[in-house]
Structure 1
Amino acid sequence: MHVIYGGTFDPIHHGHLRLAIELKERLGVSEVSLVPCHIPPHRGSTDASSAQRLDLLRLAVADEPGLVVDDRELARSGASYTADTLRQLREQLGEHEPLVMVVGTDAFAGFDRWREWEKIPQLAHVVVVKRPGPALEPLGVPAKLLQERGVSSADQLHSAPGGYCLELDPPLLDISATGIRERILSGRSPRYLLPDPVWQEIRRLGLYGACPDENF
């Protein structure tokens, strides 16, 4: 089973990494692929370039063999649409290999506004990670998808190439990329919120308003 966990990762931090490990263990796979978005279609531009975010992500997972980086969205021009990524992966994996995409409840709440959203369950399983915040609108399309396609066990995802939805409620670290960017911009240290090699590279490049000369 192939599992992808996408995002802007602006920057990658321990919350992202811990969730990826939880996914690997709970879904019973040997690897989780982190897929950095090139141009996010549902938010403004990122603070770091796609190439810089990719480099930070590679630094973050360098010592963890269970986490790998998939840069396919950076190789495509234009906005990064999930359906395009899944279609490309399906062609690569074949029609029988189980394929899983991971999304948080906050993003899944707008699932029916994604481009070609109806085709996504045909291409892959959808794992919805519960996040703090409002519940899904009971009569909305995302909630109906969970009801109609929902399964109770990760084992069921291994039995089909796609089409199922699974909700997971793993422990989440209360860390946000927005908070890290704000902390760096205000001259405060983000250390222990993200891997040290990532923080060192952010300082070296002066990303997010970091001052390379500061000694945190």
Structure 2
Amino acid sequence: MRIGIFGGSFNPIHYAHINIARYILKKLQLDKLIVIPVGKASHKNVKMADPQLRLEMCRKAFETDEKITVSDIEIKSNKVSYTVDTLKKLISLYGGHNEFYEIIGEDSADTLDTWKNYKDILKLSKIVVFRRAQYKNIIHNKNILYLDTPLYELSSTMIRQKINKNEDVSQYIPKEVFEIISKNNLYKQDRKEDL
């Protein structure tokens, strides 16, 4: 099997995440794509929404996609999440005979050399980089694939800021995701979210 791994804070998940996941699934002819909301991030200072709520938002976003599954593998771990550790767990779970594709944004690829055991990641999987504007490529390796995915001028930060200002975000996130955000009063300033 060809298995894609798409991790992120998904704080919140939005249409750029969803469309990129679907695009890569089709483009690389993957048999399965695993979306993994981060538990405790090793690299972000932004205060994130409750992990279970981010997990629920991701599950709602992909509930009609047969080949996309959302995993709580990092959320149910109490440790800081490192890509290499999650990858090893997934290889153990699915079997090393499968091909694994770690999917990251070009901004993340720029700091790949600072990731924990990044050379191990390159040995255990291929890294698929979806292009974003204004980033350079630091590492060149036969196991790094660059994809010219559609460019979306959309970020979770922007969506959090709009929600905080009570602006309409319906064009950026699925209705079911917005319902979870509204019901739980997420990303409002009185929750002291870092924007």
TM-score under structure 1 normalisation? 0.83
Identity percentage of aligned residues: 28
Question: Partner amino acid for 1:194?
Answer: I
* Structure 2 residue aligned with 1:96: 97
What aligned pairs does 1:55-70 form with structure 2 within 5 A after superposition? 55-70=56-71
How many Å apart are 1:173 and its aligned residue? 2.4
Higher-strand-fraction structure = 2
Unaligned 5+ segments in structure 2 are 191-195
Higher-helix-fraction structure = 1
How many Å apart are 1:120 and its aligned residue? 0.6
How many Å apart are 1:98 and its aligned residue? 0.5
Instruction: Write the deviation string for residues 134-182 of structure 1: whole angstroms up to 9, x where unpaired.
Output: 322xxx4x1x33xxx1xxxxxxxxxxxxxx2211011132211000000
Q: For the Cα contact (< 8 Å) 2:110–2:135, is it kept in 1?
A: no
Structure-2 separation of matches of 1:60 and 1:96: 30
How many Å apart are 1:30 and its aligned residue? 3.5
How many Å apart are 1:193 and its aligned residue? 0.4
Q: For the Cα contact (< 8 Å) 1:187–1:210, is it kept in 2?
A: no
Query: Considering only aligned residues, what root-mean-square deviation do their CA atoms show, in Å?
Result: 1.5
Q: Which moved more, 1:8-17 or 1:120-129?
A: 120-129
Question: 2:165 is matched with which residue: 186, 190, 194?
Answer: 186
TM-score under structure 2 normalisation? 0.92
Question: Partner amino acid for 2:17?
Answer: H
Question: Partner amino acid for 1:58?
Answer: R
Question: Partner amino acid for 1:169?
Answer: D
Q: For the Cα contact (< 8 Å) 2:127–2:145, is it kept in 1?
A: yes
How many Å apart are 1:67 and its aligned residue? 2.0
Question: Partner amino acid for 2:125?
Answer: A
Instruction: Write the deviation string for residues 74-109 of structure 1: whole angstroms up to 9, x where unpaired.
Output: 121121100000111111222221011001110111
Question: Partner amino acid for 1:172?
Answer: L
Question: Partner amino acid for 2:7?
Answer: G
Instruction: Write the deviation string for residues 48-82 of structure 1: whole angstroms up to 9, x where unpaired.
Output: 01111111111111122232101101121121100
Could you say what secondary structure the match of 2:89 adopts?
helix
> What is the total number of aligned residue pairs between the two structures?
189
In the TM superposition, structure 1's runs of 4+ consecutive aligned residues that sit over 4 Å from their partners are: none
* Structure 1 residue aligned with 2:29: 28
Q: Which moved more, 1:120-129 or 1:59-68?
A: 59-68
Structure-2 separation of matches of 1:125 and 1:93: 16
Question: 1:166 is matched with which residue: 127, 136, 145?
Answer: 145
Could you say what secondary structure the match of 1:178 adopts?
helix
Q: For the Cα contact (< 8 Å) 1:2–1:100, is it kept in 2?
A: yes
Structure-2 separation of matches of 1:47 and 1:93: 29
* Structure 2 residue aligned with 1:52: 53
How many Å apart are 1:45 and its aligned residue? 4.0
